[in-house]
Protein backbone atom coordinates (compact mmCIF):
# COMPACT_ATOMS: atom_id res chain seq x y z
CA UNK A 1 0.00 0.00 0.00
CA UNK A 2 1.40 3.38 -1.03
CA UNK A 3 1.81 6.36 1.29
CA UNK A 4 -1.05 8.20 -0.47
CA UNK A 5 -3.32 5.16 -0.17
CA UNK A 6 -2.62 5.04 3.56
CA UNK A 7 -3.40 8.75 3.89
CA UNK A 8 -6.68 8.25 2.02
CA UNK A 9 -7.58 5.31 4.26
CA UNK A 10 -6.95 7.42 7.37
CA UNK A 11 -9.66 9.84 6.22
CA UNK A 12 -12.43 7.23 6.00
CA UNK A 13 -15.08 6.25 8.56
CA UNK A 14 -17.06 3.41 6.95
CA UNK A 15 -19.85 1.31 8.36
CA UNK A 16 -20.12 -2.47 8.24
CA UNK A 17 -22.67 -5.26 8.69
CA UNK A 18 -23.04 -7.47 11.74
CA UNK A 19 -22.37 -7.46 15.45
CA UNK A 20 -18.76 -8.56 15.02
CA UNK A 21 -16.15 -6.80 12.91
CA UNK A 22 -15.76 -8.59 9.54
CA UNK A 23 -12.29 -9.72 8.47
CA UNK A 24 -12.06 -6.94 5.91
CA UNK A 25 -12.62 -4.32 8.60
CA UNK A 26 -9.87 -5.77 10.81
CA UNK A 27 -7.47 -5.81 7.85
CA UNK A 28 -8.25 -2.21 7.02
CA UNK A 29 -7.89 -1.17 10.66
CA UNK A 30 -4.43 -2.74 10.69
CA UNK A 31 -3.62 -0.83 7.49
CA UNK A 32 -4.49 2.48 9.17
CA UNK A 33 -8.22 3.04 8.60
CA UNK A 34 -9.21 6.30 10.29
CA UNK A 35 -12.29 4.97 12.00
CA UNK A 36 -15.57 3.12 11.76
CA UNK A 37 -19.14 4.18 12.40
CA UNK A 38 -21.69 1.95 14.12
CA UNK A 39 -25.37 1.73 13.38
CA UNK A 40 -28.29 -0.07 15.02
CA UNK A 41 -27.51 -3.14 12.92
CA UNK A 42 -24.22 -3.47 14.82
CA UNK A 43 -25.84 -3.40 18.28
CA UNK A 44 -27.37 -6.16 20.38
CA UNK A 45 -26.45 -5.03 23.88
CA UNK A 46 -23.98 -2.82 25.72
CA UNK A 47 -21.90 -5.89 26.55
CA UNK A 48 -21.72 -6.94 22.89
CA UNK A 49 -20.75 -3.39 21.81
CA UNK A 50 -18.07 -3.33 24.49
CA UNK A 51 -16.60 -6.58 23.13
CA UNK A 52 -16.80 -5.30 19.55
CA UNK A 53 -15.06 -2.01 20.40
CA UNK A 54 -12.42 -3.86 22.42
CA UNK A 55 -11.62 -6.11 19.47
CA UNK A 56 -11.32 -3.12 17.13
CA UNK A 57 -9.15 -1.13 19.53
CA UNK A 58 -6.97 -4.18 20.16
CA UNK A 59 -6.16 -4.20 16.45
CA UNK A 60 -5.22 -0.51 16.64
CA UNK A 61 -5.72 1.58 19.73
CA UNK A 62 -5.98 4.94 17.97
CA UNK A 63 -8.87 3.85 15.72
CA UNK A 64 -11.84 6.23 16.05
CA UNK A 65 -15.11 4.42 16.76
CA UNK A 66 -18.13 6.63 16.10
CA UNK A 67 -21.87 6.26 16.64
CA UNK A 68 -25.05 8.35 16.18
CA UNK A 69 -26.39 8.52 19.72
CA UNK A 70 -28.48 11.68 19.97
CA UNK A 71 -31.03 10.40 22.45
CA UNK A 72 -34.71 10.79 21.74
CA UNK A 73 -35.76 9.61 18.29
CA UNK A 74 -32.24 8.88 17.02
CA UNK A 75 -30.57 6.13 19.03
CA UNK A 76 -28.29 3.21 18.21
CA UNK A 77 -27.56 1.67 21.61
CA UNK A 78 -31.28 1.57 22.39
CA UNK A 79 -32.53 0.97 18.85
CA UNK A 80 -34.37 -2.20 19.95
CA UNK A 81 -36.20 -0.64 22.89
CA UNK A 82 -36.31 3.12 22.33
CA UNK A 83 -33.92 5.61 23.89
CA UNK A 84 -33.55 5.89 27.64
CA UNK A 85 -32.58 9.57 27.16
CA UNK A 86 -34.94 12.43 26.26
CA UNK A 87 -34.18 14.02 22.93
CA UNK A 88 -33.09 17.58 22.25
CA UNK A 89 -36.54 19.14 21.98
CA UNK A 90 -37.47 17.79 25.41
CA UNK A 91 -34.20 19.03 26.89
CA UNK A 92 -34.67 22.44 25.31
CA UNK A 93 -38.20 22.60 26.71
CA UNK A 94 -36.87 22.28 30.27
CA UNK A 95 -35.11 25.63 29.92
CA UNK A 96 -32.27 24.20 31.99
CA UNK A 97 -28.91 23.92 30.15
CA UNK A 98 -27.33 22.49 33.29
CA UNK A 99 -29.74 19.56 33.10
CA UNK A 100 -28.87 19.11 29.43
CA UNK A 101 -25.20 18.92 30.38
CA UNK A 102 -25.93 16.28 33.02
CA UNK A 103 -27.97 14.15 30.61
CA UNK A 104 -25.18 14.37 28.01
CA UNK A 105 -22.64 13.41 30.67
CA UNK A 106 -24.75 10.39 31.64
CA UNK A 107 -24.95 9.34 28.00
CA UNK A 108 -21.24 10.01 27.54
CA UNK A 109 -20.31 7.83 30.50
CA UNK A 110 -22.23 4.97 28.93
CA UNK A 111 -20.60 5.50 25.53
CA UNK A 112 -17.15 5.69 27.09
CA UNK A 113 -17.79 2.48 29.04
CA UNK A 114 -18.54 0.51 25.87
CA UNK A 115 -15.57 1.97 23.99
CA UNK A 116 -17.05 4.70 21.77
CA UNK A 117 -14.69 7.57 20.93
CA UNK A 118 -16.93 9.94 18.94
CA UNK A 119 -20.63 10.65 19.28
CA UNK A 120 -22.10 12.16 16.11
CA UNK A 121 -24.22 14.56 18.18
CA UNK A 122 -25.59 17.01 19.21
CA UNK A 123 -27.90 18.33 16.53
CA UNK A 124 -27.22 22.08 16.61
CA UNK A 125 -29.81 22.99 13.99
CA UNK A 126 -32.49 25.55 14.80
CA UNK A 127 -35.92 24.18 13.88
CA UNK A 128 -37.18 27.32 12.18
CA UNK A 129 -39.27 25.47 9.58
CA UNK A 130 -42.15 23.49 11.08
CA UNK A 131 -42.36 21.44 7.86
CA UNK A 132 -38.75 20.28 8.14
CA UNK A 133 -38.92 16.51 7.56
CA UNK A 134 -35.54 15.59 9.02
CA UNK A 135 -34.83 17.81 12.09
CA UNK A 136 -38.00 18.41 14.11
CA UNK A 137 -37.66 17.00 17.64
CA UNK A 138 -33.93 16.45 17.07
CA UNK A 139 -33.45 20.21 17.57
CA UNK A 140 -33.35 21.97 20.94
CA UNK A 141 -36.01 24.31 19.57
CA UNK A 142 -36.78 27.24 17.30
CA UNK A 143 -35.03 29.98 19.30
CA UNK A 144 -31.41 30.33 18.10
CA UNK A 145 -30.15 31.58 21.44
CA UNK A 146 -31.75 28.72 23.37
CA UNK A 147 -30.40 26.21 20.87
CA UNK A 148 -26.93 27.73 21.17
CA UNK A 149 -27.01 27.56 24.97
CA UNK A 150 -28.15 23.93 25.10
CA UNK A 151 -25.74 22.92 22.33
CA UNK A 152 -22.78 24.20 24.35
CA UNK A 153 -24.07 22.50 27.49
CA UNK A 154 -24.50 19.20 25.64
CA UNK A 155 -20.96 19.39 24.23
CA UNK A 156 -19.48 20.11 27.65
CA UNK A 157 -21.36 17.23 29.26
CA UNK A 158 -20.45 14.68 26.59
CA UNK A 159 -16.80 15.68 26.30
CA UNK A 160 -16.43 15.92 30.06
CA UNK A 161 -17.24 12.20 30.08
CA UNK A 162 -14.34 11.56 27.70
CA UNK A 163 -16.23 11.15 24.41
CA UNK A 164 -15.73 13.60 21.53
CA UNK A 165 -18.87 15.41 20.40
CA UNK A 166 -19.81 16.42 16.85
CA UNK A 167 -22.17 19.37 16.31
CA UNK A 168 -24.31 18.99 13.21
CA UNK A 169 -25.40 19.89 10.51
CA UNK A 170 -23.24 22.88 9.51
CA UNK A 171 -24.11 25.59 8.57
CA UNK A 172 -27.69 24.79 9.67
CA UNK A 173 -30.27 22.27 8.40
CA UNK A 174 -33.24 23.63 10.33
CA UNK A 175 -34.74 25.89 7.69
CA UNK A 176 -35.42 23.24 5.04
CA UNK A 177 -38.47 21.38 3.75
CA UNK A 178 -36.54 18.63 1.95
CA UNK A 179 -34.83 15.55 3.44
CA UNK A 180 -31.16 15.59 2.33
CA UNK A 181 -31.12 11.79 2.47
CA UNK A 182 -33.31 11.96 -0.65
CA UNK A 183 -32.71 15.27 -2.43
CA UNK A 184 -30.79 18.55 -2.18
CA UNK A 185 -32.32 21.12 0.19
CA UNK A 186 -31.83 24.89 0.03
CA UNK A 187 -31.52 26.78 3.31
CA UNK A 188 -30.32 29.85 5.17
CA UNK A 189 -27.42 29.40 7.54
CA UNK A 190 -27.88 29.72 11.31
CA UNK A 191 -24.47 29.95 12.90
CA UNK A 192 -25.15 30.87 16.52
CA UNK A 193 -25.30 27.27 17.83
CA UNK A 194 -22.13 26.33 15.94
CA UNK A 195 -20.28 29.36 17.30
CA UNK A 196 -21.41 28.28 20.76
CA UNK A 197 -20.24 24.71 20.17
CA UNK A 198 -16.83 25.93 18.98
CA UNK A 199 -16.50 28.16 22.03
CA UNK A 200 -17.28 25.09 24.18
CA UNK A 201 -14.41 23.21 22.52
CA UNK A 202 -16.37 20.80 20.34
CA UNK A 203 -13.97 18.31 18.73
CA UNK A 204 -15.89 17.81 15.47
CA UNK A 205 -18.51 19.48 13.30
CA UNK A 206 -20.57 17.63 10.68
CA UNK A 207 -21.40 19.23 7.35
CA UNK A 208 -24.90 19.42 5.88
CA UNK A 209 -25.74 18.37 2.33
CA UNK A 210 -27.63 21.62 1.75
CA UNK A 211 -27.15 24.62 -0.50
CA UNK A 212 -26.85 28.02 1.15
CA UNK A 213 -27.35 30.42 -1.79
CA UNK A 214 -25.99 33.42 0.10
CA UNK A 215 -22.61 31.64 0.28
CA UNK A 216 -22.33 29.19 -2.63
CA UNK A 217 -24.38 27.23 -5.15
CA UNK A 218 -22.78 23.91 -4.16
CA UNK A 219 -23.87 21.70 -1.24
CA UNK A 220 -22.07 22.75 1.94
CA UNK A 221 -20.20 19.44 2.21
CA UNK A 222 -18.42 20.10 -1.10
CA UNK A 223 -18.27 23.88 -0.82
CA UNK A 224 -14.85 25.41 -0.14
CA UNK A 225 -16.43 28.78 0.78
CA UNK A 226 -18.53 27.03 3.45
CA UNK A 227 -16.19 24.37 4.85
CA UNK A 228 -12.96 26.36 4.63
CA UNK A 229 -13.87 30.01 4.19
CA UNK A 230 -16.70 30.11 6.75
CA UNK A 231 -15.98 27.24 9.17
CA UNK A 232 -12.22 27.59 9.32
CA UNK A 233 -11.63 31.19 8.30
CA UNK A 234 -14.49 33.13 9.87
CA UNK A 235 -15.43 30.87 12.79
CA UNK A 236 -11.89 29.70 13.55
CA UNK A 237 -12.75 26.01 13.96
CA UNK A 238 -9.62 23.85 14.26
CA UNK A 239 -11.15 20.43 14.92
CA UNK A 240 -12.33 17.69 12.57
CA UNK A 241 -14.83 18.48 9.83
CA UNK A 242 -16.93 15.34 9.29
CA UNK A 243 -19.16 14.78 6.28
CA UNK A 244 -22.69 13.61 6.65
CA UNK A 245 -23.18 10.24 4.90
CA UNK A 246 -21.59 10.49 1.48
CA UNK A 247 -24.14 8.10 -0.06
CA UNK A 248 -27.09 10.41 0.71
CA UNK A 249 -29.11 11.47 -2.30
CA UNK A 250 -28.30 15.18 -1.92
CA UNK A 251 -24.70 14.39 -2.92
CA UNK A 252 -24.72 11.20 -4.98
CA UNK A 253 -27.88 11.97 -6.91
CA UNK A 254 -25.76 13.99 -9.32
CA UNK A 255 -22.27 12.47 -8.89
CA UNK A 256 -20.50 9.26 -8.02
CA UNK A 257 -19.55 8.30 -4.47
CA UNK A 258 -15.86 8.67 -5.26
CA UNK A 259 -16.36 12.09 -6.81
CA UNK A 260 -18.34 13.23 -3.75
CA UNK A 261 -15.43 12.14 -1.52
CA UNK A 262 -12.87 14.00 -3.61
CA UNK A 263 -14.94 17.19 -3.67
CA UNK A 264 -15.54 16.99 0.10
CA UNK A 265 -11.81 16.69 0.84
CA UNK A 266 -11.00 19.52 -1.54
CA UNK A 267 -13.64 21.68 0.15
CA UNK A 268 -12.06 21.19 3.57
CA UNK A 269 -13.77 18.14 5.09
CA UNK A 270 -11.45 15.76 6.92
CA UNK A 271 -13.39 12.62 7.86
CA UNK A 272 -15.48 10.98 5.14
CA UNK A 273 -18.48 9.18 6.60
CA UNK A 274 -20.17 6.37 4.69
CA UNK A 275 -22.07 3.25 5.62
CA UNK A 276 -25.65 4.10 6.45
CA UNK A 277 -26.78 2.83 3.07
CA UNK A 278 -23.56 1.47 1.57
CA UNK A 279 -21.17 -0.83 3.37
CA UNK A 280 -18.53 -3.39 2.50
CA UNK A 281 -14.90 -3.45 1.50
CA UNK A 282 -15.72 -2.47 -2.07
CA UNK A 283 -16.98 0.91 -0.87
CA UNK A 284 -13.67 1.57 0.91
CA UNK A 285 -11.72 0.46 -2.18
CA UNK A 286 -13.76 2.80 -4.38
CA UNK A 287 -13.16 5.78 -2.12
CA UNK A 288 -9.44 5.14 -1.70
CA UNK A 289 -8.99 4.73 -5.48
CA UNK A 290 -10.86 7.96 -6.19
CA UNK A 291 -8.82 9.94 -3.66
CA UNK A 292 -5.50 8.54 -4.87
CA UNK A 293 -6.43 9.36 -8.47
CA UNK A 294 -7.34 12.91 -7.43
CA UNK A 295 -3.95 13.36 -5.75
CA UNK A 296 -2.13 11.94 -8.76
CA UNK A 297 -3.93 14.34 -11.12
CA UNK A 298 -3.47 17.35 -8.85
CA UNK A 299 -7.13 17.80 -7.91
CA UNK A 300 -6.23 17.30 -4.25
CA UNK A 301 -2.91 18.37 -2.81
CA UNK A 302 -1.19 15.67 -0.75
CA UNK A 303 -0.68 18.25 2.00
CA UNK A 304 -4.49 18.66 2.22
CA UNK A 305 -4.82 14.90 2.64
CA UNK A 306 -2.12 14.89 5.33
CA UNK A 307 -3.84 17.76 7.14
CA UNK A 308 -7.15 15.89 7.16
CA UNK A 309 -5.61 12.63 8.37
CA UNK A 310 -3.65 14.40 11.10
CA UNK A 311 -6.78 16.08 12.43
CA UNK A 312 -8.50 12.69 12.68
CA UNK A 313 -5.48 11.29 14.52
CA UNK A 314 -5.98 14.00 17.17
CA UNK A 315 -9.75 13.67 17.47
CA UNK A 316 -10.06 11.34 20.44
CA UNK A 317 -10.24 12.81 23.92
CA UNK A 318 -7.36 11.45 25.91
CA UNK A 319 -7.72 10.67 29.62
CA UNK A 320 -5.82 12.99 31.96
CA UNK A 321 -3.28 10.24 32.69
CA UNK A 322 -2.29 10.04 29.02
CA UNK A 323 -2.11 13.82 28.73
CA UNK A 324 0.16 13.98 31.78
CA UNK A 325 2.42 11.22 30.45
CA UNK A 326 2.75 13.01 27.10
CA UNK A 327 3.59 16.33 28.71
CA UNK A 328 6.23 14.68 30.88
CA UNK A 329 8.19 13.28 27.93
CA UNK A 330 11.16 15.43 26.94
CA UNK A 331 13.22 14.69 23.84
CA UNK A 332 16.38 16.03 22.28
CA UNK A 333 17.94 15.21 18.92
CA UNK A 334 16.57 12.87 16.26
CA UNK A 335 14.49 10.37 18.21
CA UNK A 336 12.24 9.22 15.36
CA UNK A 337 12.02 5.45 14.91
CA UNK A 338 10.93 4.09 11.54
CA UNK A 339 9.30 0.79 10.71
CA UNK A 340 11.77 -1.44 12.52
CA UNK A 341 14.07 -1.16 15.52
CA UNK A 342 16.38 -3.10 17.77
CA UNK A 343 15.37 -2.40 21.37
CA UNK A 344 17.93 -3.07 24.09
CA UNK A 345 16.80 -2.85 27.71
CA UNK A 346 19.51 -2.67 30.35
CA UNK A 347 18.21 -4.25 33.52
CA UNK A 348 18.05 -2.27 36.73
CA UNK A 349 17.16 -3.60 40.17
CA UNK A 350 13.60 -3.12 41.39
CA UNK A 351 12.91 -1.35 44.65
CA UNK A 352 11.05 -2.99 47.51
CA UNK A 353 8.27 -0.44 47.06
CA UNK A 354 7.81 -1.10 43.34
CA UNK A 355 8.37 -4.82 43.19
CA UNK A 356 8.94 -6.66 39.91
CA UNK A 357 6.79 -4.68 37.44
CA UNK A 358 7.38 -4.95 33.65
CA UNK A 359 8.98 -1.91 32.01
CA UNK A 360 10.79 -0.94 28.83
CA UNK A 361 10.11 0.30 25.30
CA UNK A 362 9.75 -2.84 23.17
CA UNK A 363 6.04 -3.48 23.72
CA UNK A 364 5.09 0.19 23.43
CA UNK A 365 6.92 0.58 20.11
CA UNK A 366 5.50 -2.69 18.78
CA UNK A 367 1.99 -1.51 19.66
CA UNK A 368 2.52 1.44 17.34
CA UNK A 369 3.50 -0.75 14.40
CA UNK A 370 7.28 -0.87 14.82
CA UNK A 371 8.81 -4.26 14.02
CA UNK A 372 10.99 -4.93 17.04
CA UNK A 373 13.80 -7.45 16.65
CA UNK A 374 17.48 -8.04 15.98
CA UNK A 375 18.94 -6.12 13.08
CA UNK A 376 16.48 -3.23 13.20
CA UNK A 377 17.60 -0.08 11.44
CA UNK A 378 17.35 2.04 14.55
CA UNK A 379 18.74 1.04 17.93
CA UNK A 380 16.79 2.09 21.02
CA UNK A 381 18.45 1.72 24.42
CA UNK A 382 16.10 1.75 27.42
CA UNK A 383 17.60 2.44 30.84
CA UNK A 384 16.23 3.27 34.27
CA UNK A 385 18.15 5.42 36.79
CA UNK A 386 21.38 5.20 34.82
CA UNK A 387 23.09 7.43 37.39
CA UNK A 388 22.96 4.61 39.95
CA UNK A 389 24.43 1.88 37.72
CA UNK A 390 28.13 2.18 36.74
CA UNK A 391 28.02 -1.14 34.89
CA UNK A 392 25.15 0.04 32.72
CA UNK A 393 26.94 3.33 32.08
CA UNK A 394 29.87 1.37 30.67
CA UNK A 395 27.51 -0.80 28.60
CA UNK A 396 25.80 2.30 27.19
CA UNK A 397 29.18 3.72 26.16
CA UNK A 398 29.98 0.48 24.33
CA UNK A 399 26.65 0.51 22.54
CA UNK A 400 27.12 4.10 21.40
CA UNK A 401 30.56 3.24 20.03
CA UNK A 402 28.84 0.72 17.73
CA UNK A 403 25.60 2.66 17.17
CA UNK A 404 26.32 6.41 17.41
CA UNK A 405 22.80 7.27 16.17
CA UNK A 406 21.06 5.17 18.81
CA UNK A 407 18.24 6.67 20.87
CA UNK A 408 18.71 6.52 24.63
CA UNK A 409 15.45 6.42 26.59
CA UNK A 410 15.89 7.18 30.28
CA UNK A 411 12.87 5.82 32.17
CA UNK A 412 14.01 6.82 35.63
CA UNK A 413 15.43 10.04 37.04
CA UNK A 414 17.10 11.81 34.09
CA UNK A 415 20.28 13.15 35.68
CA UNK A 416 22.88 11.08 33.86
CA UNK A 417 22.93 11.75 30.13
CA UNK A 418 26.05 10.28 28.50
CA UNK A 419 27.97 12.68 26.28
CA UNK A 420 27.51 10.30 23.29
CA UNK A 421 23.71 10.38 23.60
CA UNK A 422 22.87 12.89 20.90
CA UNK A 423 19.36 11.44 20.65
CA UNK A 424 17.80 11.34 24.08
CA UNK A 425 14.34 10.83 25.58
CA UNK A 426 13.42 11.31 29.24
CA UNK A 427 10.07 9.81 30.23
CA UNK A 428 10.30 10.63 33.97
CA UNK A 429 9.06 7.17 34.90
CA UNK A 430 8.81 3.58 33.71
CA UNK A 431 5.02 3.21 33.92
CA UNK A 432 3.34 1.79 30.83
CA UNK A 433 1.73 5.18 30.25
CA UNK A 434 5.20 6.77 30.13
CA UNK A 435 6.45 4.16 27.64
CA UNK A 436 3.36 4.64 25.48
CA UNK A 437 3.83 8.42 25.47
CA UNK A 438 7.49 8.07 24.48
CA UNK A 439 6.62 5.57 21.74
CA UNK A 440 4.01 7.96 20.35
CA UNK A 441 6.58 10.73 20.18
CA UNK A 442 9.18 8.45 18.60
CA UNK A 443 6.87 7.19 15.84
CA UNK A 444 5.25 10.41 14.66
- Active-site residue (options: 31, 46, 181, 224): 181
Task: Collect all residues with Cβ–Cβ distance below 8 Å to 159 and sequence separation of at least 6.
Answer: 108, 165, 200, 201, 202, 203, 317
74 three-state secondary structure? strand
408: which strand partners? Answer: 381, 424
Give the helix, strand, coil percentages of the chain, each rounded to 5.
40, 15, 45
Q: How far apart are CA 138 and CA 133, in angstroms?
A: 11
Is 428 noted as a catalytic residue in this protein? no
Q: Strands 204-207 and 240-242: what pairing?
A: parallel
Catalytic residue among 68, 216, 244, 385: 244
Report whether 295 contacts 59 (CB < 8 A).
no
Identify whether 439 is preceded by a cis peptide bond (ω within 30 of 0).
no
Beta-carbon contacts of 320 under 8 Å, excluding residues fewer than 6 positions away, are: none
Q: Identify the H or E element spanning 117.
A: none
φ/ψ of residue 256, rounded to 5: -75, 165
Phi, psi of 232 (to 5 degrees): -85, -50
- Helices 3-10 and 302-313: angle between axes, nearest 10 degrees: 50
Rounded to 5 degrees, φ, ψ at 109 are: -60, -40
Q: Is 181 a catalytic residue?
A: yes
- Catalogue the active-site residues: 181, 244
Amino acid sequence: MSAVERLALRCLLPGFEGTEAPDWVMRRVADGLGGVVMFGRNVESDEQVRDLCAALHAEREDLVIAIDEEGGDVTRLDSRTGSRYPGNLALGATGDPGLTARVAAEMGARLAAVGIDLDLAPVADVNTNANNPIIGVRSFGSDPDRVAEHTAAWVEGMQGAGVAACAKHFPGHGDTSVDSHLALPVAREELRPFKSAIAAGVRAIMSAHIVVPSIDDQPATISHPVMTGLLRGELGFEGVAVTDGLEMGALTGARSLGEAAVLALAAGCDALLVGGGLSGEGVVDELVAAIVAAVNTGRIDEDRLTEAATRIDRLKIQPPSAVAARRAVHADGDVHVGGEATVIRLDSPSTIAAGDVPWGMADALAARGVRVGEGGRRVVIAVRDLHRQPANQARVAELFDRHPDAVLVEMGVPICRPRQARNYVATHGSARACADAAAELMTR
